[in-house]
Amino acid sequence: MITIPVRLSNELAKRVQPFQDRLPEIIELGLRQITAGREGQADYPQANQRALDALTSTGIVTLPTPAAHRKARARRTPIQAGGPPASALIIAERRGEL
Q: How far is CA 95 from the centre of its chain?
A: 50
Mention every residue, 6+ apart, whose C-beta is less than 8 A from residue 62: 56
Indicate the domain borders of the chain. 8-62
| pLDDT interval class at 81 (50, 70, 90) | confident
Instruction: Tally DSSP H helices, then E strands, for the chain.
Output: 5, 0
How far is 83 from 68, CA to CA, in rounded Å?
39
Q: How far is CA 19 from the centre of its chain?
A: 33
What digits encode the pLDDT tens for the residues 27-79? 888 888 777 766 554 456 777 777 777 777 777 667 666 665 666 778 888 88
pTM over 0.75: no
Q: Where are the beta strands (DSSP E) in 43-98?
A: none
Instruction: Quote the pLDDT of residue 70.
Output: 65
Q: What is the mean pLDDT of residues 11-17?
A: 87
Q: Do the Cβ atoms of 42 and 49 come closer than 8 Å?
A: no
Query: Within 10 A of 83 (CB to CB), how many other CB atoms are there?
Result: 7
More confident call, 65 vs 90: 90
